[in-house]
Structure 1
Amino acid sequence: MKKLFVAAILAAWVPTMAYAAPAKLRFGIDPTFAPFESVNPQGELVGIDVDMGKSICKRIEADCEWIRMNFDGVIPALKAKKIDAILSGMTITKEREKQVLFSDVMYASSTRLMVPANSEGLDTTAESLKGKTIGVVQGTTQAAYADKHWKGKGIDLVSYQNDDLAKQDLALGRVDATLQDAAAATIFFESADGKNFKLVGTPVSDAEVFGNGNGIGLRKDDTELKGKIDKALADMKQDGEYAKILETYKKYGIKEHE
């Protein structure tokens, strides 16, 4: 009886320990979206998502592993269990919530048009862009906005697998503008190549498309992991680390979601 009792306790105890904290937390990331995530000259991943992710991993006692992939492949990779979470500048939208369980909001940023420095007269209205070619990155909220508001209105939309490819075509004059996260554009302007471009137009707005700020995407049934990540974020805000990280990226227009 004693052995049976001990075995019963162990059976109940082992699963709890198994979920205490993952030994490794595999984040899916597309490192072409500075200042959210990019690769520095030393080959290291840097950006606000990387800083946030490292702090979260430390707080839940997990080792961060960064799995690099194109943004349009992050949700399929999550569902296929090739990664445990998406941490790649992902905005929380109703459409994505049908497939993904999100953490609490981490931060927010805006969206505008990026054009060559000598370009004039473009705004983010369909009327202004009629007859123009606009680049968007597949799977992003910018692409969703363009499809909803500009498709079928005389605007040629060209999609790219990542932001670097969209910028290259803009530099080569193959597109007239890219619909761009303003923070990603602002940090790009600090580079030698970025000096040839600028942001124009009114920031676009659509709550249905752009949702409620950026968060970490998880599988629908990973509620326990969500609880741990949300607690880590709350603790970061409580002890000041969140504000410290945000301060580093404030100049790019990244802010706490209101």
Structure 2
Amino acid sequence: MPRSPMLFASTLAALMLATPPVLADDPLRLAVDVPYEPFEYKTADGTLTGFEVDLGNAVCAHLEIQCTWVEQPWDGMIPALMARKFDAIMSSMAITEERSRQVLFSEPYYTTPSAWITPRGRDIDISDKASLEGLTAGVQRATLQDRYVTDLYGDVLEVRRYASADDVVADLRAGRLDLTFMDYPIAEAMIEIDAEASDFVRISDFIKEPDTYFGQGVGVAFRKRDRDLAERFNQALAELKANGTYDEIMSEYFSYDIKL
């Protein structure tokens, strides 16, 4: 969804000092954590696709540069960027104060809400925190949803952390979880929600605040020294929004506006 930071301050500082900027003639390597549908996932034939993949490819075409995609597990994403395994992260990374101390962000290019979801028929009142005592909630590990639930509900909920959203949904379907807190487009893409025939319902409003957890939207993350590259991305994203390309890509994956 958007996903939460881990601190590796001393190691990252050393890596940032030791690594040169991206060379203009090198293929640009963009990192994603797969699957995270509809933002990045693979089709049945193994093709990498999704909103951010299509948008990233459009940015590269606009800049007339060659780009490749690198798959990277989420919980090692920022250290791998600093270790030069790739040149930028374009994988639903929320812009937060903590992360901004480690990486340089582009201007935000989308924002989406999170929501609480539970199997249909469960009588759960998320607004009554005391009533949640002893229930089990699933979250994807190291995401902003993980941090939000742990900080605000960890004293009443048993929080179970999973490597992927797929694993969260699998245990929700199997009855091993009472509820989950997820980036709503991810939940919408993975499980039918609220429709009469659906097995799942949303039991909260759409949640985007406070900024402490949800940041200022999602941005592309770069090493701090790669300011020129970040500015080129900012210009390309602005031009793709202005010429309608962004809206065309967005409409393929969402029935609502995710622009800031």
Answer 1 or 2: which has greater helix percent.
1
Task: Give the equivalent residue in structure 2 for 1:121.
Answer: 124
Picking from 208, 213, 232, the partner of 1:209 is: 213
Paired letter, 2:93: M
Task: Give the equivalent residue in structure 2 for 1:236.
Answer: 240
- What pairs with 1:141-160 in structure 2 (closer than 5 Å)? 141-151=144-154, 153-160=155-162
Conservation of the 8 A alpha-carbon contact between 1:112 and 1:179: yes
Q: CA deviation at 1:106?
A: 0.6
Q: CA deviation at 1:190?
A: 5.0
Picking from 236, 244, 251, the partner of 1:247 is: 251
User: Unaligned 5+ residue runs, structure 1?
Assistant: 1-17
User: Over aligned residue pairs, what C-alpha RMSD do you find?
Assistant: 2.1
Q: CA deviation at 1:104?
A: 0.9
- For residues 181-201 of structure 1, the C-alpha deviation after alignment (integer angstroms, 9 at most, x for no partner) is 11111122359xx94323221
The SS at the match of 2:70 is: strand
Task: Give the equivalent residue in structure 2 for 1:176.
Answer: 178
Task: Give the equivalent residue in structure 1 for 2:17.
Answer: none
Conservation of the 8 A alpha-carbon contact between 1:114 and 1:179: yes
Conservation of the 8 A alpha-carbon contact between 1:92 and 1:214: yes
Q: Output the CA distance in 2 between the equivalents of 1:122 and 1:78.
A: 41
Task: Give the equivalent residue in structure 2 for 1:103.
Answer: 106
More off after superposition, 119-128 vs 217-226: 119-128
Task: Give the equivalent residue in structure 1 for 2:30.
Answer: 27
Task: Give the equivalent residue in structure 1 for 2:18.
Answer: none
Find the structure with the greater CA-based Rg. 1
User: Unaligned 5+ residue runs, structure 2?
Assistant: 1-20
Q: CA deviation at 1:47?
A: 1.2
Q: Output the CA distance in 2 between the equivalents of 1:200 and 1:176.
A: 12
Q: CA deviation at 1:19?
A: 6.4
Distance change >3 Å, CA 247–CA 164, structure 1 → 2: same
Q: Output the CA distance in 2 between the equivalents of 1:134 and 1:212.
A: 25
Q: Output the CA distance in 2 between the equivalents of 1:111 and 1:76.
A: 26
- For residues 116-153 of structure 1, the C-alpha deviation after alignment (integer angstroms, 9 at most, x for no partner) is 233232426633432111111122111121122112x2
Q: Output the CA distance in 2 between the equivalents of 1:92 and 1:125.
A: 30
Question: TM-score scaled by structure 1?
Answer: 0.84
Q: Output the CA distance in 2 between the equivalents of 1:159 and 1:139.
A: 8
